[in-house]
Amino acid sequence: MRTMLGQLAGLILGLALCGPAVARCQDDAKPKVDWSDCSKTQLMLSGDDMTDAVLRGAVLTSTDLSKAKLARAKLSEAEVSFARFENADLSGADLAKAIGWRASFKQAKLEGASLNTAQMSRSSFVQAKLAGANLSKSEMNRSDFSGADLTGADLSKAELARVIFADTKLSGVNLGYANLARAKLAGADLSGATFTGAYLYRTQLRGTDLSKTKGLVQDQIEDACGTADTKLPAGLKPPQAWPCIEEDE
């Protein structure tokens, strides 16, 4: 009898503890809403004001958050695969350890945002504003940053294999020890960018101006793929292997 009463008490206590959390997940989208660990998949939240929202660990797969106001939102460890953040305001947002596959951040505002250790492979950041953002140790393989502004951002130790940086603003960016294998840097503004220890195996430098970068050494240039119009820092010279033999992507 005591055992049954104890089990019943435990069940009641569990329901009491779970009740507020379940109710919280039913709250409407609004500033400072707390959807921590809530499942919010395939919702239409375009244009909603969720400034300072708490979305830690939330599942936002395939949710439409285009034009949403998410400044300073807490999205750490959230699942954002296939989510849409086009033209959304994510300035100062925390996406550390967020997981996303083919998420779209086209033209989104991400100034000062943290994507530290985030996994966003094959995502789009076309024309996004990421000035001063922290992307250190993030996984961005095969993502597209064409036309984006990453001025002063931290991409140290990031996985950037096959990433497209066409016409991207990368001035003052820290790419120290980043993996840039086969990344495309044609037309990128790299003035003041740091490449110390960066892995540049077959990195595409066709016509790229590297003359004002920091930390590059000859061995890195030997691994990369440039052309006659690629500009190198003083003291470095184009390898005899340039231009590289074209290979399948």
Tokens of 193: 């960018």
According to DSSP, the residues that pair with 144 across neighbouring strands are 124, 164
- Residue 177 is predicted with a pLDDT of 98
C-alpha closest to that of 149 among 169, 167, 135: 169
pLDDT value for 247: 58
Residue 124 is classified by DSSP as B
**CA separation (Å) from 23 to 3, 5, 57, 99, 168?**
30, 27, 17, 25, 44
Closest CA relative to residue 131, chosen from 105, 107, 154, 150: 150
Pair 69, 92: CB distance under 8 Å: no
**pLDDT classification of 163: cutoffs 50, 70, 90:** very high
CB 133 within 8 A of CB 116: no
Token digits for 162? 């096959």
Whether the per-residue pLDDT at 18 is higher than 70: the answer is: no
| Window from 110-114, 154-158, 226-230 with minimum mean pLDDT | 226-230
Q: Above 90 in pLDDT, residue 248?
A: no
Residue ranges of alpha helices (H) inside 189-228 are 218-223
Stretch 217-239: mean pLDDT: 96
Instruction: From 179, 178, 214, 216, select the one nearest 193 (Cα to Cα).
Output: 214
Residue 64 CA, distance from chain mean position:
18
Tokens read off for 216: 């590059």
Q: Containing H/E element for 18?
A: helix 2-25
**Residue 237: both structure tokens together:** 């010279």
Query: Residue range 121-131: average pLDDT?
Result: 98
What's the pLDDT band for 22 if we cut at 50, 70, 90? low
As a whole number, mean pLDDT of residues 186-205 equals 97
Identify the pLDDT of residue 20: 53
> Is 50 exceeded by the pLDDT of residue 171?
yes
DSSP summary character for residue 56: T
pLDDT computed for residue 14 by the predictor: 44
Reported confidence tier of residue 245, pLDDT bands at 50, 70, 90 = confident
Give the predicted TM-score (pTM) of the model: 0.89
Average pLDDT, integer, range 48-68: 98
Confidence at residue 179, expressed as pLDDT on a 0 to 100 scale: 98
Averaged pLDDT, 221-238: 96
How many degrees, rounded to 5, is the angle at CA 120 between CA 56 and CA 82? 80
